[in-house]
Amino acid sequence: MQTVHEPASLRAVIRGWRAEGKTVGLVPTMGNLHAGHFSLIRHARARADRVVASIFVNPTQFGPNEDFERYPRTLVQDQAGLADEGCDLLFAPEVSALYPLGPERAVKVHVPRLGEILDGASRPGHFDGVATVVCKLFNLVQPDFAVFGQKDYQQLRVIERMVADLGLTVKVMGAATVRAADGLALSSRNQYLDDRERAVAVEVSATLRQMQALMAGGHAREAVEQAAMARLVQSGFVPDYAVIRRAEDLEIPAPEADLTSLVALVAARLGTTRLIDNLPFSAA
């Protein structure tokens, strides 16, 4: 596997592939890779002639007092894992390569409404940073498709909306959430949890399953959400939200909505760690 750090080097490699008629898949990441990330690489590997992964801890998607400075950076370990999974090219730029005028002066991509609710409300500006950096990566790599994990459900929907509205040609693919044996969704931030918190963290996925079961049992959405918030608080979390939304656009569903068109979403803090997870009803 080859590693490049500059956009010009990235483009040179991809030009060579395109001259050979190769298809290209992209897997954007922030590094500190785990089994969930590697499942995305395998998803891309099965569908493209060449696979590009990016590792970039993007400063514009972190808010004040968030964990940008302490976010784990494990490039050597990540390179070995990507090579083992058959990744062809790693793009690992410095901040100056993607934000030549500095992050504070960068052009921003804003996705109205969808990027402003739920995580967009809890973390103002977060999805501007996500949409901006993903748009940059799409422009640099020009992939045939890009793969994102469904654990970051709202992010996936934001990127799909951006691609559709800007007329980009890249196909956005979602890959299923990878979970630990006890149900906890794999996340780079899980390593922030101490042993006690790790044992409690499984309550996030358990709460999602309860939300789905209560809705299937005919309970009102508002009551289901209230019960979920209460369960999380009782377990020691400080929840940002526990909601049932339309899977398509994360708006509040009509009372008569088909259950398979819905998704349950949770964001909650446990100690200093913020956990997010979701459960599409169509996956039941």
Other CB atoms within a 10 A radius of the CB of residue 173 amount to 18
Residue 145 has which token pair? 């498709």
Residue written as token pair 């991809």: 14
Q: What is the DSSP letter of 170?
A: P
Cβ count near 192 (within 10 Å)? 19
12 Cβ contact list (under 8 Å, min separation 6): none
3-state secondary structure 24-65: EEEEEECCCCCHHHHHHHHHHHCCCCEEEEEECCCHHHCCCC
How many C-beta neighbours within 10 Å does residue 170 have? 21
**Choosing from 5, 37, 126, 219, which is the catalytic residue?**
37
Q: Identify which of 112, 93, 100 has the alpha carbon closest to the alpha carbon of residue 3.
A: 93
Which residue type, as a one-letter code, is found at position 58? N
Q: Quick check: is 43 catalytic? A: no
Confirm if 227 and 245 have CB atoms less than 8 A apart: no
Q: Which residues carry out catalysis?
A: 37
